[in-house]
A = this chain, B = another copy of it.
Amino acid sequence: MSTSEHAFNALGDPTRRAIFEKLHDRPLAVVAIADGLPISRPAVSQHLKVLKEAKLISLKTEGNKNIYELNREGILAMRDYLDKFWDDALANFKALSEAAENDKKQ
């Protein structure tokens, strides 16, 4: 499974998107992330694991706190996938419609 596949998978869940967006403004410890969310703290830990494996976030340990923050790698992997996907698709469609034009002229 590629990085972008992991990332799409991770952001497919609304709770994980909420966690992801909580980290938008600043890095946060697990308790702070869980605060306000309608699920238990272990559930948050499990979501963090998925987001980390997708390289959408990373963590640094400070004392007994695990501070999570956004990770450029996973975000960029998705964006690049979408960019390339769309560019290639456009090129394919252009080639297809030109081939169709040629068929008509014969």
The CA-CA distance from A21 to B86 in the complex, in Å, is 11
Interface stretch among A10-18, A29-37, A39-47, A58-66? A10-18
Return the chain B residue nearest A26 by Cβ. Answer: B96
The CA-CA distance from A26 to B95 in the complex, in Å, is 10
Are A89 and B12 within 8 A (Cβ)? no
Return the chain B residue nearest A77 by Cβ. Answer: B82
Report A93 CB to chain B, min CB distance, Å: 8
With an 8 A cutoff between CB atoms, is A51 at the interface?
Answer: no
Binding site for B on A (CB under 8 A): 5, 8-9, 11-14, 17, 21, 23-26, 70, 72, 75-76, 78-79, 82-83, 85-86, 88-89, 92-93, 96
